[in-house]
Structure 1
Amino acid sequence: MAAGFKMAEPLEYHRSFLKENCRPDGRELPEFRTTTVNIGSISTADGSALVKLGNTTVICGVKAELANPSVEAPGKGFIVPNVDLPPLCSSQFRPGPPGEQAQAASQFMADIIESSEVLQTEDLCIERGKLSWSLYCDLMCLDYDGNVLDACTLALLAALKNTNLPEVSVNGETGAPQVDLGKRRGLKIGQHPVAASFCVFDEAILLADPTAEEERLATARLTVVTNEDGRVCSVHKPGGTPLSGEKLQELISRAAVRQKETHELIDKVIKSIT
């Protein structure tokens, strides 16, 4: 009976739970799903991490390559994120070039890298105007059940904290790069941005960490990215129901709590393997 009701009237099905201040999966309205982080999941990458947020699973691999700095920024390196939402993660995605959601997610990640100061691109410069590191951060969703932005942000942060680069110098006579694979160093992580996503139901009810079905039924979605110093470095709201200043401040406060919890989770995982 419940399964038939859910299929025939999904919105009313969810409303029946929300009236009791709970959700179909048993969570309270402001509750995030169980989050797990696995560091160093890809042995061939320079850094990697796998994140599970409920059933949503994202893996991130960081591949470092030597490159020439740009003429406009001779003292900087590059960080290039790319989000892939393949058909294997959900039937809603199709084969072929990246769809609109994947492109938007990739741009979201690029904006976070720039606004959060998680990593200074100056630190990726090996020799000004001659040689720098280019970090290709490939994020693939293995299982999609909503809120991929939070999972991608966490996977990227964990993978960057796991990244180790070999020592590189430039030969003064030949100008060729000299790589010492025996000596490696980690990246200088400045800030720890964490995304916290919410959706709006019936223009008033706020749900944290929405599932794929909740995203489809919501009247609006919002993602707040905060650093450990409490600074909001991004607010992403692609249309939908407007939110009052009071509601927005409430979500920012929840996001700050989520940032602290997630930061502690990553540090705990890293300490357990070192």
Structure 2
Amino acid sequence: MGSTNTSGDLSSEMEVDAFRRLFPLHFHERHLLESIRTDARPLGKARDTSLALGAVASANGSALAKIGCTTMLAAIKMEVMTPTTESPDEGCIVIDFHMPPICSPIVRPGRPAEAAPVVSKQLSDTILSSGMIDLKELSLVSGKAAWMAYLDIYCLDADGALFDAALLSAVAAFSHLEIPVVSLNDDGRVVVVSDEDGGKLDKEAVNKEKRKLKLSSVSFSLTCILHKNYILADPTAEEESIMETLMTVDCVALTRQRVKELQKILNEAISDMEVD
């Protein structure tokens, strides 16, 4: 009897898997009728999120962020640059988003992922326009020297909501960032003081100790799928690939009240779609 039940269970699992592969949208919609998703989440529930700071020892700031299986590694390296004449008292931030072939079966070796430049631009627009970082904080010597912060984000596992996880890792990396100590040499150039120098400086330091970068706000985002009359928060890669409309909303210091407002906006958007 035990072997018969085992054989029956296996056969049922194979039938369900075959149905899911052949008719993925119908498979998901049958779950939505019960107000549940294929991973057993309620429609509005996001996946578990985790953060680990200092994931890259050689970086000035770094973080590993996970939303469900979606995994992002963010690292920041600081370099001294000459500021532009238009902004002599400001530093600069350069952001690159990378999707290596290991992150997803749809990313092929030797071919750039289509989503990479889109996410990279979204990150730049969000971080620079949110006012989260005051670029004047990156200034060293007016008109002569400022910090260039190179932020690289690597997608290690692309299982949906890429921008949400990438932004989370970027904010965490900036919160972990320590700005190095620098001094002026005999030529008047800014020199980064390494730990091997033991704090011995020939010239007075421009900044006397490592310091944290002040964040005036904290930016988050929430990606949702609008499918018929359903709202699915924090979609997986499978859900994104088969459903109708994807919407990402950027928020600053997300609160419960803001979540309610976001829900109202999404409901209004669905009503407008049904009217059209």
TM-score band w.r.t. shorter chain: 0.7 to 0.9
Change (3 A) 1:198 1:245: closer
Checking the alignment, whether the CA contact within 8 Å between 2:25 and 2:243 is kept in structure 1 is no
Amino acid at match of 1:220: T
Per the alignment, residue 191 of structure 1 pairs with: 217
**Structure 1 residue 4 displacement after superposition:** 0.9
- In the TM superposition, what whole-angstrom CA distance separates every residue of 1:2-21 from its partner, at most 9, and x where no partner exists? 11110010000000100000
Identify which of 153, 161, 164 aligns with 1:147: 161
Give me the TM-score of the superposition, normalised by structure 2. Answer: 0.81
Change (3 A) 1:229 1:59: closer
- In the TM superposition, what whole-angstrom CA distance separates every residue of 1:195-250 from its partner, at most 9, and x where no partner exists? 11101123x21100000010011211111111127799xxxxxxxxxxx9562589
Change (3 A) 1:141 1:246: closer
Per the alignment, residue 6 of structure 2 pairs with: none
Matched, 1:212 2:237: yes
Change (3 A) 1:246 1:23: closer
Change (3 A) 1:215 1:246: closer
Matched, 1:178 2:191: yes
Matched, 1:226 2:240: no
| Structure 2 counterpart SS, 1:136 | strand
Checking the alignment, whether the CA contact within 8 Å between 1:117 and 1:190 is kept in structure 2 is yes
Amino acid at match of 1:53: I
- Of 146-155 and 174-183, deviating more is 174-183
Change (3 A) 1:113 1:205: same
Per the alignment, residue 168 of structure 1 pairs with: 182
Amino acid at match of 1:156: A
Per the alignment, residue 34 of structure 2 pairs with: 20
Identify which of 98, 115, 130 aligns with 1:101: 115
Checking the alignment, whether the CA contact within 8 Å between 2:220 and 2:254 is kept in structure 1 is no
- In the TM superposition, what whole-angstrom CA distance separates every residue of 1:17-71 from its partner, at most 9, and x where no partner exists? 0000000001000100000101100000001000111011110001111111122
Give me the TM-score of the superposition, normalised by structure 1. Answer: 0.81
Checking the alignment, whether the CA contact within 8 Å between 1:126 and 1:169 is kept in structure 2 is no
- Unaligned ranges ≥5, structure 2: 1-14, 200-208, 259-263, 271-276
Matched, 1:79 2:93: yes
Identify which of 263, 267, 271 aligns with 1:247: 267
Structure 1 residues 39-78: aligned runs within 5 Å: 39-78=53-92
- C-alpha root-mean-square deviation of aligned residues, in Å? 2.2
Checking the alignment, whether the CA contact within 8 Å between 2:181 and 2:192 is kept in structure 1 is yes
| Structure 2 counterpart SS, 1:152 | helix
| Structure 1 counterpart SS, 2:210 | strand
- Unaligned ranges ≥5, structure 1: 233-243, 251-274
| Structure 1 counterpart SS, 2:235 | coil
- C-alpha distance in structure 2 between counterparts of 1:197 and 1:248, whole Å: 16
| Structure 2 counterpart SS, 1:42 | coil
Amino acid at match of 1:175: G
- C-alpha distance in structure 1 between counterparts of 2:235 and 2:216, whole Å: 29
- C-alpha distance in structure 2 between counterparts of 1:179 and 1:135, whole Å: 14
- In the TM superposition, what whole-angstrom CA distance separates every residue of 1:153-211 from its partner, at most 9, and x where no partner exists? 0000000000101122435x621113334531111111100011101123x21100000
Q: How many residues align?
A: 238
Give aligned-pair identity as a percent.
35
- C-alpha distance in structure 2 between counterparts of 1:6 and 1:109, whole Å: 34
Amino acid at match of 2:218: H
Per the alignment, residue 137 of structure 1 pairs with: 151
- C-alpha distance in structure 1 between counterparts of 2:151 and 2:58, whole Å: 13
Checking the alignment, whether the CA contact within 8 Å between 1:198 and 1:207 is kept in structure 2 is yes
